[in-house]
Structure 1
């Protein structure tokens, strides 16, 4: 029987839910607060260039993403590029990301290099992550790689992304990040990453059009004020000052919004949502006349730089100008998050010119900053048990975000795979 189902949020997960529901003969209605689909994958006009506000890339292992491209007839738009990594350490830009670069790295002893390499290799071979769920990540890494390698290669990455949470993260979550990048290599020395012609908009527009073609609806600039729950059952949602009836509701908005959207949930469930923490991001994107480096990704360990790294996106996806993303991660409640965009933009000018002294002020064509308060969940040890269930104790209500495919890190492919599975679960 066909059902009328509200899907809250038009990020990749929400679109994937609606895509699957519509293809299965149901009538999803996507309600999105933003004026465009995509969430963190949405694009903006950057001086005539349509590009994502936040960087994205694809790995050869992103099977759910590649499957949808094939279904939408977009597989021919996929491009693969051999990419490089670098490491800014000791006031120099060094090669990174393969065994030879590790051996040549200046600032690390031979034993530390061996332990670091062994740990990275074993992470790519591990499949069972459950023993790591309760393990604290920084201690786990330190035990494997030793104090020297941890201080040089890991500490700043933790500190400048997680701040006060740096010492209380799940090892399973960090392991999944190491494994994903490690498995993007197609040989010991070479790394291959992918992009879509036209960027993420190619996929987003394809999903949007397919939802409409199969009888679904997508309403933009339509924030939902409340999920209506009566007598233990979902009745619909309140949006735009009116009550819209639905048989079921699937929310894919960040979990911290749920206590406000669904205050009628049982208090023990609301407490679980309130206990979750998130990292915010201020992501600066710069358009340059010349490249900063030949690398796609550069990790940074510099006392004068409060960033974990930079992403030179045009070294993955060729463009007329050189595009660099510089993310500043921090808890949303940290005082730095309240600083104006100009503070972060000024830092990016200085940092990029330090990494490449040949850059001059007039090499910066344009520079912008975007903010996302709930960019990433904080997955603490034992996160699996702390996570609220996606099927809540209310008839007809499902709630999930990127936290629910823990220990995998947020990603387009993971969101698509999880969203499609969730859609099937909703109508079983």
Structure 2
């Protein structure tokens, strides 16, 4: 039995605690927030329990399925046919299936063929090692053509990654395309999953499992320092007390790591500090009427400053329509400090552009959430930039969402990595990262 402290009660941290307890270790989880769950946590939206930031499940997400089985909640998983569209030239264009591609007016015949072939072949590939040193823009332009990138991708990339838009890994983009491309009922029908009760169902099950196995979850305990002596981790000091530790798994965003672990060598601190992140302001609207019949809508319009909207109620059934409007941006962007009321009004006006039938009285409630480290910026060659999970300090493992690369942020990769980290507690083995391009 190893006395273990998990820093961070997001899905990965909670899963790591669950798996570590199953292996017989003593576990405390410390979390700065007043609630568990991290990005998967819910809030009370005028009587509806809903995620702060939307989540969905894809059919390739095997680690999620294994975790749900382990927790006894696999029967809460539901699948639903979903669809996507582009909003461009003042109207919605259905997307994501052969018929939509063949009939769209957004692309010409040659563009349709090249785009369709690239996306189809990407969804069938098992490895992207040849794309690790290639930018997403170069890969798309080579496969589908420069005109396709300009018409379908440029604005989306610019509004998600700003100054980094031309410096995003093709391997990362291709892996996202593959994950969603393989989550289908048929060639003509996308199908995504959700949990009854939302992500809170998973969070509650993880917390219950931890407490049932004798672990403890300490909320509102911001960590001040992960302590080490003579090259080995010794404890975690929080604003409310200190926890002895023989092993620590830290799951907070990598930009925080150098400040939390002063005992790290400078070279390690520099490696964490070098990982760039984009923030997100997510406006959530509860509406009396749906905006579209689609789960996600990409937006190509010079007058709309968001890359798209997620109509979550078209995946998880709710009494009213629930729409997420994400503004991705660096936290030093001028709009980051915009008043909530201004963001709510602007984002609702965008929804009205998409659906002119939407009236002001159709808006029931709105909420604004901000997250400074929402999306790691994965540039070409990013795999070599990720530090080892096992730090130079014995017993200290560090991983956040950038360690999922080339996969994107998601519960499934968090569950996989959590299990790997739990399995090496107390040993000298390095956690087995998923083969980077398998």
**Structure 1: how far apart are the matches of 2:107 and 2:53?**
32
1:112-151 matched pairs, under 5 angstroms: 112-151=111-150
SS in 2 for 1:221: coil
Check conservation: 2:2, 2:425, Cα contact below 8 A: no
Residues 145-181 of structure 1: CA deviation (Å, up to 9, x unaligned) = 1121111111111011000000111111111111111
Q: Structure 1 stretches of 5 or more lacking a match?
A: none
TM-score by length of 2: 0.96
Please list, as runs of the form range in 1=range in 2, the aligned pairs for 1:136-285 lying within 5 A after superposition: 136-240=135-239, 242-285=241-284
Partners of 1:303 and 1:59 lie apart in 2 by 31
Counterpart contact for 1:278–1:332, Cα < 8 Å: no
1:328 Cα deviation after fit: 0.6
Distance 1:368 1:187 in 2: 36
Matched, 1:423 2:422: yes
Normalising by structure 1, what TM-score?
0.98
State the superposition RMSD in angstroms: 1.0
Q: Equivalent residues in 2 for 1:32-43 (5 A)? A: 32-43=31-42
**1:330-360 Cα distance to aligned partner (Å, 9 max, x none):** 1222222222222221111110011001110
SS in 2 for 1:427: coil
Q: Which residue of 2 aligns with 1:11?
A: 10
Whether the 8 Å CA contact 1:285–1:323 is kept in 2: the answer is yes
Q: Are the aligned partners of 1:25 and 1:214 in contact in 2 as well (CA < 8 Å)?
A: no
1:324 aligned residue: 323
The one-character-per-residue Cα deviations of 1:29-71 (angstroms, maximum 9, x if unpaired) are 1000011111001000001111001111111221111111112
Checking the alignment, whether the CA contact within 8 Å between 2:395 and 2:426 is kept in structure 1 is no
Task: Find the counterpart in structure 1 of residue 346 from structure 2.
Answer: 347
Structure 1 CA distance for aligned equivalents of residues 145 and 230 of structure 2 = 56
1:426 to partner: Cα distance: 2.2
Q: How does 1:24-173 map to 2 (within 5 A)?
A: 24-173=23-172
- Take 2:153 and 2:184, find their aligned partners in 1: how far apart are those partners? 21
Contact conserved, 2:85 with 2:296, CA < 8 A, in 1?
yes
5+ long unaligned stretches in structure 2: 428-438
For the residue of structure 2 that corresponds to 1:418, the secondary structure is: helix
> Aligned residue for 1:373?
372
Deviation at 1:231, TM superposition (A): 1.4
Residue equivalent to 1:313? 312
1:302 aligns with 2:301: yes
Task: Between 3-12 and 340-349, report the one with greater CA deviation.
Answer: 340-349
Q: Which moved more, 1:101-110 or 1:3-12?
A: 101-110
Deviations 1:270-299 (CA, angstroms, capped at 9, x unpaired): 111111100100001000000001111111
Alpha-carbon distance between aligned partners in 2 of 1:189 and 1:83, rounded to the nearest angstrom = 11
**Contact 1:228 1:235 (8 Å CA) reproduced:** yes
| Contact 2:247/2:426, CA 8 A, preserved across alignment | no
Please give the alpha-carbon distance, in whole angstroms, between the structure 2 residues aligned to 1:107 and 1:296: 20
What CA distance in whole angstroms lies between the structure 2 residues aligned with 1:106 and 1:161?
25
> Deviation at 1:241?
5.2
When structure 1 is superposed on structure 2, of 174-183 and 418-427 the one drifting more is 418-427
Distance 2:135 2:92 in 1: 30
